[in-house]
A and B are shown apart, each in its own frame.
Chain A
Amino acid sequence: MDSSKSPTEYRVCVADTPEQLAGQVTEQLSQGWHLHGYPFVDLQFQSNGNGRQLSGNLFCQAMVRTPIAAPVAKATVRATPAVRPERPKVPATFRGVATFLAVLVCGYLIAEFLFFRSGFYTRYLEPESSTGSFERTFKLEKNRAPTRKKEVLVVGSSRLAEGFSAKLSDRYKPEDGYRFFNCAVPSSGARTFYYQIRDLDPQRNRYAAIAIPIDDFNDLDDIEDVADRVSDIRLEINRLRVTDIVPYTLSFTRWKSRREILRGVLFKGTVYQLDLADFIEHPTERLARVKMFRENAGGWGYDYGGIERNLAGLNVDWTTRHATYPPGMPEDQRRFLENVFFEKHLQRGRNRDFEVRWLGLLVDRYRDSKTKIIIFQPPRGPFPRPSPNLPWTAVDELRKRSWVTIIDSHKFESLEKPELFADHVHLNSEGRKIFTPMFVDAVKEVVH
Chain B
Amino acid sequence: MLFNSAPFFVFLIVTLTLFYVSPRNWRRVILLVASYFFYASWNWRFIPLLLTLTVIDYFCALWIVRTEAAKRRLAMIISVGANLGFLGFFKYYNFLASNVALFADKPENAFFLKIVLPLGISFHTFQSISYVVDVYRGEQEPIHNFLDYAVFIAFFPQLVAGPIVRAREFFVDLFHWQPPSLDDIQSGVFLVFIGLAKKMALADQFSLVADSYFNNVAATPGAVPAWTATIAFAMQIFFDFSGYTDMAIGTAKLFGFHFPLNFARPYLATSITDFWHRWHMSLSRWLRDYLYIPLGGNRHGDFNTYRNLMLTMLLGGLWHGANWNFMIWGGIHGFLLSLERMRRGRITQVAAWQNPLRVVLTFALVCVAWVFFRAKTLSDSFYVLHQMFTNFHGSSLLLHRHYAMIAVTLVIALLEERWQVIEEVIEGPRWLQATAFAGIALTIELFGVIDQTIPFVYFQF
Contacts and interface: CB of A to CB of B under 8 A. Distances in A.
Interface stretch (A17-25, A88-96, A398-406): A88-96
B184 interface: yes
A110 B184 CA distance: 25
A231 interface: no
Query: Chain B CB within 10 Å — which of A76, A91, A110, A281 has the most?
Result: A76
B450 interface: yes
B69 interface: no
Interface stretch (A1-9, A97-105, A176-184): A97-105
Given A81-B417, A92-B184, A97-B185, A107 B434 contact: yes
Contacts of A110: 434, 438
Given A74-B348, A84-B420, A108-B441, A269 B446 contact: yes
A87 interface: yes
Contacts of B423: 84
Contact of A90 (B181, B271, B400, B448): B181
Contact of A280 (B186, B270, B404): B404
Contacts of A276: 446
A223 interface: no
A90 B433 contact: no
A99 B185 CA distance: 12
A91 B182 contact: yes
A270 B446 CA distance: 6
Contacts of A99: 430
A273 B400 CA distance: 14
B185 A267 contact: no
B184 A107 contact: no
B277 to A, nearest CB: 5
Nearest to B270: A78
Interface in A245-296: 263, 267-270, 272-273, 276-277, 280-281
A78 B266 CA distance: 12
The size class of the interface chain A forms with chain B is: 35 or more
Contacts of B427: 87
Contacts of B446: 269-270, 272-273, 276
A329 interface: no
A221 interface: no
A73 B184 CA distance: 35
Interface in A79-134: 80-81, 84, 87, 89-93, 96-97, 99-101, 103-104, 106-108, 110-112, 115
A242 interface: no
A270 B400 contact: no
Contacts of B404: 280
A269 B446 CA distance: 5
B270 A77 contact: yes
A363 to B, nearest CB: 36
B182 A90 contact: yes
Contacts of A104: 189, 433-434, 437
A110 B446 CA distance: 16
Contacts of A87: 183, 427
Contacts of B180: 92
B442 interface: yes
B430 A111 contact: no
B264 interface: yes
Nearest to B346: A76
A90 B183 contact: yes
Contacts of B347: 76
A281 B399 CA distance: 7
A103 B434 contact: yes
A80 B438 contact: no
A85 to B, nearest CB: 10
Contact of B442 (A74, A97, A269, A280): A269
Nearest to A283: B400
Contacts of A112: 438, 441-442, 445
Contact of B182 (A97, A103, A267, A272): A97
Nearest to B181: A89
Contacts of B186: 100
5 contacts: A81-B420, A91-B182, A92-B182, A276-B446, A281-B399
Interface of B: 179-186, 189, 264, 270-271, 273-274, 277-278, 340, 343-344, 347-350, 355, 399-401, 404, 417-418, 420, 423, 427, 430, 433-439, 441-442, 445-448, 450
Interface of A: 74, 76-78, 80-81, 84, 87, 89-93, 96-97, 99-101, 103-104, 106-108, 110-112, 115, 263, 267-270, 272-273, 276-277, 280-281
Given A90-B182, A280-B404, 11 more contacts: A74-B348, A77-B344, A81-B264, A81-B418, A90-B181, A92-B181, A92-B185, A100-B185, A107-B433, A110-B434, A280-B401
